[in-house]
Structure 1
Amino acid sequence: MIQVNNATISESALMAEVQYHPADSKRAATLKAAESLIIGELLRQRAKALGLTVKSELNSASDDDFLDALISQELPIPTAGDEECQQYYKLNPHRFASSPLLEVSHILLAAAPEDDKARVEAKILSEQLISQLQQGESLATLAKHYSACPSKETGGSLGQISRGQTVPEFERQIFSAEPGLLPQGIESRYGFHIVFIARKVPGKLLPFSAVQQKIAEYLNEKVRRKAVAQYIHTLIVNAEIDGYDFKLSDSPLMQ
């Protein structure tokens, strides 16, 4: 049982709430549920103190209604202007550029993620084949013989690739590389890739006018989240809570 000022959160209410907070353990889920119910109760109490319409039942699904009403009355939140948006745009150009284009060929040495022996063998073979390519061997020829990818029928060519078209572990490596033969194989969920980048066309920065609205929305939401977290933290600090200790919580509200 948890006491929040003059209100009680029963064990049955806590157990009913747990289902909405999946976690790695029952204890972690119970802690999250307790925090949610306590915060919801604090919001209800504050709303009632201000004369706002509140519901009596404990239900985290309705907390947003209280929060929106409280924000409107007690928490004026500034919005981002043109100057703030322009500054964010200038400091984060990589966020507003179109994807680079890469012209890529590869050889896939297949190895299942759970097959350690096959992984080791694929890595060793990738080193051997890279050495052959460095000495002038044809990638198309080696792809035809060794690659487990259908692209072996076209000399290993994957054509032009932009971000989001390949698996993340492969994408991270190729988009940070320069044109040419990569000196080491890239490990992915499929095995090891021997990669040759024939051409790299840099992405183009989108004009500010095209992204200004998205920047404003992002900055406004960021400010709102911070303000709301501080507001809830203040409610917690000023409340009398028995049966739960927020000091033991890893919630960002208590950081």
Structure 2
Amino acid sequence: MAVVVNGVELSDADMEQELPLHGDAPNPMQRAMTALVLRRVLLDEARRLGLPSADEEAAIDALLASEVQVPTPDEASCRRHYQQYPQRFTVGELVEVDHILFQVTPRVPLEALRGLGEQTLAELLAEPALFAERARTLSNCPSGEVGGNLGQLSRGDTVPEFERVVFAMSPGSILPRLLETRFGLHIVRVARRVEGRLLPYEQVAEQIAAALHTASQDAAWRQYLQLLVGRARIEGIALEGADSPLVQ
């Protein structure tokens, strides 16, 4: 079915040009078509307002600059962010982690896998000295060959759901529950921890202000796009939401 925006049908040529830009998306075709629809909606609005532009990109930039007000973060907001998320501004923080991965696969029932993981965890909480041996025999991670040791990890080295837990653990401890991530179920032990150093606020103030401004800008753009999409006549596609990163 053809996709029509405000009476204009999007062409196959447009799609061929847009599609390569979204190859990493879970659904590249849907993402590319959504981007084309949003671009068309923005260009139609710029034209309706009579905004001058040299090309399409300039038209969109002029529209967003004219119609979207982005608040500038004040110092109080920046300091509050600094105090709320000190880990983001800490350097040199390290943890040495061992783990045993029970990988979730279609061939292994999750209930049985969880049962094995919980049984192994109970055994290791009772006898931590068996950790390396159980990692070598049970772990689905290459680190199992070295007793489950992942080495020294900095923030950003692992997936967020793993990082949040291991950086909150005390050295020498085994997490008393299975840790679930996108890779499966983990038994986790933190062998050593280096606390790191919190950078002074003055050293990161500009970085914080820029990050908060970007977040405010994204939210404002998303809200404006949703408003324009609600006004537009769009046929042939259901937009789940107007995602500001599509606006370049």
With structure 2 as the length reference, what TM-score do the two structures score?
A: 0.65
Q: Once the 2 structures are TM-superposed, how far is the Cα of residue 138 of structure 1 from its aligned partner?
A: 1.9
SS at match of 2:39: helix
Distance 1:168 1:92, change over 3 A: closer
> Looking at both structures, which has the greater relative contact order when contacts are Cα pairs under 8 Å and sequence separation is at least 6?
2
**1:15-61 CA-partner distances (Å, limit 9, x unpaired):** 5444537785978865664443132122123234xxx2455xxxxxx
Bigger mean CA offset, 67-76 vs 154-163: 67-76
- SS class of match (2:190): strand
Within the candidate set 204, 210, 214, 2:203 is matched to: 210
Q: Indicate whether 1:251 and 2:244 are aligned.
A: no
- Give the equivalent residue in structure 2 for 1:43: 46
Query: Is 2:157 the partner of 1:165?
Result: yes
Q: Which is greater in Rg?
A: 1
Distance 1:42 1:96 in 2: 41
Secondary structure of 2:49 counterpart: helix
**CA positional deviation for 1:164:** 2.9
**Matching residue of 2:96:** 103
For the structure 1 residues 188 and 14, does the alpha-carbon distance in structure 2 shift closer, same or farther, using more than 3 Å as the test?
same
Q: What is the rounded CA distance, in whole Å, between the counterparts of 2:167 and 2:200 in structure 1?
A: 22
Give the conservation status (yes or no) of the 8 Å contact 1:14–1:34.
no
| Paired-residue identity, % | 30
Alignment map for 1:49-68 (pairs within 5 Å) = 52-53=52-53, 62=56, 64-68=57-61
**Cα gap change, 1:177 to 1:46, in 2 (>3 Å):** same
Aligned counterpart, 1:129:
120
User: Hey, what's the Cα distance between the residues in 2 that align with 1:236 and 1:137?
Assistant: 57
> What CA distance in whole angstroms lies between the structure 2 residues aligned with 1:199 and 1:86?
31
Q: 1:10 to 1:123 in 2, by over 3 A?
A: closer
User: What value does the CA root-mean-square deviation take over the aligned residues?
Assistant: 4.3
Q: Separation in 2 of the partners of 1:227 and 1:144?
A: 48
**2:90 maps to amino acid:** A
Q: Which amino acid aligns with 2:191?
A: A
Q: Give SS of 2:133's match.
A: helix
Query: What does residue 175 of structure 1 align with?
Result: 167
Question: 1:101, 1:202 within 8 Å by CA — same for their partners in 2?
Answer: yes
Query: How far is the alpha carbon of 1:146 from its aligned partner?
Result: 2.1
Separation of aligned partners in 2, 1:3 and 1:111:
45
1:194 maps to: 187
SS of equivalent residue, structure 1 residue 104: strand
Contact 1:123 1:192 (8 Å CA) reproduced: yes
What runs of 5+ residues in structure 1 fail to find an aligned partner? 56-61
Post-superposition offset of 1:95? 3.2
Q: Give 1:77 deviation, angstroms.
A: 5.2
Give the letter for the 2:120 counterpart: L
1:12-91 matches, within 5 Å, as: 13-19=10-16, 20=18, 33-48=36-51, 52-53=52-53, 62=56, 64-70=57-63, 79-91=72-84
Amino acid at match of 1:164: G
Check if 1:113 corresponds to 2:105: yes
Q: How many Å apart are 1:229 and its aligned residue?
A: 5.4
| 1:142 and 2:133 matched | yes
Q: Deviations over 1:119-168 (max 9, x none)?
A: 55543333333333333362256337624456556554433322333345
